[in-house]
Amino acid sequence: MIKKNKEDLAALCTLELGKPYTESLVSVQYAVDFLDWFEGAIERTFGDTIPAARGNTRIFTIKQPQGVVAAITPWNSPLAMITRKAGAAIAAGNSVVCKPAPETPLCALALAKLFERAGGPSGVFNVVTCGAESTIAVGEELCHNDLVKHLSFTGSTSVGKHLNIACAKSIKRISMELGGNAPFIVFADANLDEAAQGLATSKFRSSGQTCVCANRILVHASIFDDFSEILKKTIDRTFVYGSVWDRSVTFGPLYSLKGMSKAILHLEDALSKGGRLVTDGPDATDMELGPNFLKPVIVKTGASWKSMKFMEEETFGPVAFLIGFDTEQEAIEIANQSSLGLAAYFYTQDISRLWKTAEALNVGMVGARVGLVSATEMPFGGIMESGIGREGGIEALSEFLETKSITLGI
């Protein structure tokens, strides 16, 4: 049903979020992919027969649904973040109450309507919308209500901490995909063209508004100037600006004035502490493209990078901050200097460095010579303050299932 209505859904996504229509079409497909994958995977999910130590018993496990799953979803991907949670939860036999972000209720309601039209059983996929003024009250109800057995949340780390505490009172299962501040390391031996293309994808996808976007970009000192020039050329070649309805346009505005202000704040902070622009900064050509429009910006941070705001929190906008480093150990240390551990990326040609770096990075997801890790079949999620549990892949189904052990006397 979603496939049949993909153009309408993409148009709704563009209207609600301001994403370029072409990008919205890709996000509809991403949403569908989750449903297809979980539908296939649940048929291959089953319990075990375990050899028992006591000879007069046999032990089996079966997988059972948990009951009602509450899904609190973000505005930045208003279709796929719902199907990623609800697809897995429903495939595992649960019912879902979804509270979409107050900013993007329409995509969620459209999914509920299509679920109904596809013949989905009544009460299995439910949407509760609310405005910004009641979002805390609705969230609290989902945390405290005894009917809810699992809360799955995607959003900021600060909200995740509140929800985590609230859910602890009734020992609910939780899965949380929270904030990131992804490092992206370009080692001296990297293929610079490939690294620049990977960074363009990682940093500027959705205009920098995903939690896995690169934010702390570490470039070896010996290639620092060459790489910044290559990155600038890659951006000029890759992105097309214009009306979000024009199918050739690949880069859109930021979702809100709040998001725009944060990106500008991080940029001005870096420039006031000695950062230098590689690209043009925000100017009249951005304004001509519409409100909240910021074309990709590259900044060489200079000596004071440690005190810059982007080091503390994700920018969630299209500003790439480049930091120079001298040794492999230094790069890993800087990358791991964060309480957040969602995604990290790096480029090298050296296979030994590739393995060592992938193992050393304190994150849930590593892009080793790729700028895009997100995929339906991949366990998606972070460690430390970036979250609990995994979405996507077979692990997502386990999150929404209970294992029951049955000991049989013979």
Q: Which residues bind ligand SIN (CB under 6 A)?
A: 76-77, 81, 154, 177, 210-212, 374
CA distance linking residue 17 with residue 75, whole number of Å: 8
Give yes or no: 359 in active site. no
| Under 8 Å between Cβ of 369 and 193 | no
Catalytic residue, chosen from 43, 103, 140, 177, is 177
Smallest gap, in angstroms, from Cβ of residue 206 to ligand SIN? Answer: 8
Between 74 and 253, whose beta carbon lies closer to ligand SIN? 74
Q: How far is CA 160 from CA 15, 69, 72, 215, in A?
A: 28, 16, 10, 21
Phi then psi dihedrals of residue 344, to 5 deg: -150, 155
Residue with the CB atom nearest ligand SIN in the bound state: 374
> C-beta of 333: minimal distance to ligand SIN in Å?
26
Residue 84: which of 41, 25, 140, 54 has the closest Cα?
41
Shortest distance (Å) from residue 342 CB to ligand SIN:
9
Residue 273 CB neighbour total at 10 angstroms: 16
CA angle 252-376-31, nearest 5°? 50
CB nearer to ligand SIN: give 235 or 342: 342
Give the shortest CB-74-to-ligand SIN separation in angstroms. Answer: 6
CB of 80 to ligand SIN, least distance (A): 6
DSSP per-residue string spanning 20-82: -HHHHHHHHHHHHHHHHHHHHHHTT----EE--SSTTEEEEEEEEE-SEEEEE--SSSTTHHH
Nearer to ligand SIN, 77 or 362 (CB): 77
CB of 61 to ligand SIN, least distance (A): 31
User: Residue 176 to residues 103, 206, 250, 340, 342: CA-CA distances in angstroms?
Assistant: 20, 21, 30, 13, 11
Task: Characterize the bridge pairing of strands 57-65 and 401-409.
Answer: antiparallel
Q: In Å, what is the CA distance from 68 to each residue of 131, 181, 251, 401?
A: 23, 32, 38, 11
The smaller minimum CB distance to ligand SIN, of residues 17 and 289, is found at 17
Q: Rounded distance, CA 273 to CA 312, Å?
A: 15
Nearest CB to ligand SIN, comparing residues 110 and 212: 212
- In the DSSP assignment, the letter for residue 181 is -
Query: Closer to ligand SIN at the Cβ: 334 or 342?
Result: 342
Q: Specify which residues 108 forms β-bridges with.
A: none
CA 142 to chain centroid: 22
Q: What is the set of active-site residues?
A: 177
